Amino acid sequence: MGKEILISKGKTDTRVAIIDRNVLEDFYIEVDQHQSMLGNVYKGRVESILPSINGAFVNIGHERNGFLYLTDADNPLIAEEMEAPRGLIQKILKGNENKKRPARGKGELPLKEGQEILVQVVKDPFAQKGPRLTTHISLAGRFVVYMPFDPHNGISKKIASQEERDRLKEVLDELNFSKNSGVIIRTASLGQTKRELVRDARFLHKVWQEILKLAEKKQAPALVYKDYDLVSKVVRDYLKDDVDKVVIDSLEDYKSIRKFTMNLVGPLEAAKIHCYRGQKTLFEHKGVSKQLSQIYDTRVYIRGGAHIVIEPTEGLTVVDVNSGKFKMKGTPEEAAFVVNMAAAPEIARQLRLRDVGGIIVIDFIDMTREAHKRKVLDALKFELSKDHAKTEVNRISPLGLVEMTRARTGKTLEAVSFKTCPYCHGRGKVRL
């Protein structure tokens, strides 16, 4: 059995599991009361500007104001006043982009309180923080990403073939909707025809024009574009040639997803979508329930009785590698190397499954040989390369610690699935 996408629709949530040869590789959950704002575009109003933290708070119509870095507040929709946007929007739609923007004076802020701007959510609210915003809006399609105000074209680094890159570059040269916009060709474009890529880009350009028209009509704060829901994003981003089957346990959603896939991708991919109507739950039927239960545990066992411990804290997440009951013939150095080599890919997998973001410190078992340290680090980086989130990894320190970061775009699995105990306030211990 190859790669499958399993979609389970509950009364209050939607869960998506991606398995490869019966091993859980990715897991996503969307709870109805915590709908993701990621990718949504709002017409917002600047409420306050704080130069001391290089940021501004923007009212987008939600409980918490969004946060926008001042260094990120620089595009044509801000350079000209949006209090009366009709003239600006008509200029953009007509393609009049040659007008030079006036230079700001030294110390002059790019925003004013009360100013109306278009912003996009790039990070969901987390803990007591509101959503992170940007004015550099991007619209993702199946094959390309359209950026209305970033005049840079690019091709995914994961497309390694120079011949294919040259072919796609020729296609890029034809996607000149405006001088201020840019297009990035995604990995899914590999082998796709010029017609498919152009059609995808034109569709996104049309979506952007509709956003501008709606922004002209609505009063701030207002939602002017809502990105796809979880299931639609999974179909758009993960339904590729290497996926054998998509299984969903809701007949109603099966019909809508099949129709969506038919319009977005085509009949060949739509034929991979199946509806599950068995007695057991879908995840039990596919044998992934046990693997799912493990991603909520603090302790995860690996080969030979060794285990890793994952502990999230306020400022970072700590991962500790323990030999446990692991035994082998050989020196302590060799035993540490074997355990660390088994732990490295599992750590990367658990970070991905739990959607852990921010600063992460991994405490491997001490090793003295530099060759062993390099191999363990390479194993960790190789597994992290499968992650869709951006990661940065430092070398192993003399204490055996690896400091790394993983981009956080929303709430972690723990934050979505649990709430702090009102009695112990998250301590999780009983006082003697």
Written as one string, the DSSP assignment of 96-119 is: ---PPPPPPPTT--S--TT-EEEE
Q: Are 378 and 338 in contact (CB under 8 A)?
A: no
Q: What residue type is 17 in one-letter code? A: A
Please tell me the predicted confidence (pLDDT) of residue 40.
94
Mean pLDDT of 76-95: 46
Q: Out of 175-189, 345-359, 396-410, pick the least confident.
A: 175-189
Looking at the whole model, is its pTM more than 0.85? no
Please tell me the predicted confidence (pLDDT) of residue 124.
87
Please tell me the predicted confidence (pLDDT) of residue 84.
41
- Proportion of the chain above pLDDT 90, given as a percent: 37
Mean pLDDT of 217-226: 92
Mean pLDDT of 227-254: 89
Please tell me the predicted confidence (pLDDT) of residue 103.
54
Q: Out of 77-81, 109-113, 147-151, 355-359, pick the least confident.
A: 77-81
Please tell me the predicted confidence (pLDDT) of residue 109.
67
Please tell me the predicted confidence (pLDDT) of residue 315.
82
Which pair of tokens denotes residue 105?
């004076």
Question: Quick check: 130 pLDDT over 50?
Answer: yes
Q: Is the dihedral of CA 215, 88, 124, 142 positive or negative?
A: positive
At 104, the pLDDT band (50, 70, 90 cuts) reads low
Mean pLDDT of 118-123: 92
Question: Quick check: 151 pLDDT over 90?
Answer: no
Q: Reduce the DSSP state of residue 328 to 3 states and report it.
A: coil
Q: What span, in angstroms and rounded, lies between the C-alpha atoms of 321 and 336?
A: 10
At 282, the pLDDT band (50, 70, 90 cuts) reads very high
At 159, the pLDDT band (50, 70, 90 cuts) reads confident
At 73, the pLDDT band (50, 70, 90 cuts) reads confident
At 246, the pLDDT band (50, 70, 90 cuts) reads very high
At 32, the pLDDT band (50, 70, 90 cuts) reads confident
Please tell me the predicted confidence (pLDDT) of residue 82.
42
β-pair type (222-225, 401-406): unpaired
Cα atoms in the Cβ-side hemisphere of radius 13 Å centred on 128: 1
Which contacts (CB < 8 Å, 24+ apart) does range 13-18 have? 14/229, 14/230, 14/231, 15/283, 16/230, 16/231, 16/234, 17/283, 17/286, 17/288, 17/292, 18/234, 18/238
At 107, the pLDDT band (50, 70, 90 cuts) reads low
Please tell me the predicted confidence (pLDDT) of residue 397.
87
Q: Are 186 and 238 in contact (CB under 8 A)?
A: no
Which pair of tokens denotes residue 61?
């119509």
